[in-house]
Amino acid sequence: MSVEYLASAVSGMWLTVAILAGGYARTRNRSAWAWFLLTAVFGPIAAFLLVVWPPVVRAPRA
């Protein structure tokens, strides 16, 4: 296995986790774009925090 192949495989998995974290953030009333960027930079650590932290409760509009 060459280093180029390994680097592209890891980069692809990292980007996939970031995209999935952005989608999951929406289900927890958080900013999808912000969590995508956080996960793209910090990787699985940010995705773990997204799963562990409780969802944001929004007040109902009157």
pLDDT at 62 over 80: no
Q: Between 44-52 and 3-27, two packed helices, what is the crossing angle to 10 degrees?
A: 20
Residue bearing the bigger pLDDT, 4 or 38: 38
**Residue 45 in domain:** yes
Number of structural domains the chain divides into: 1
DSSP letters for the chain:
--HHHHHHHHHHHHHHHHHHHHHHHHHTTS-HHHHHHHHHHHTHHHHHHHHHSPPPPPPPP-
Distance of alpha carbon 2 from alpha carbon 9, whole angstroms: 11
User: pLDDT class for 5, splitting at 50, 70, 90?
Assistant: confident
**Residue 57 in domain:** no
Distance of alpha carbon 12 from alpha carbon 55, whole angstroms: 28
The predicted pLDDT at position 26 comes to 94
- Structural domain of 21: 3-52
Q: What are the tens digits of pLDDT across the range 7-45?
A: 899 999 999 999 999 999 999 999 999 999 999 999 889
Residue bearing the bigger pLDDT, 25 or 3: 25
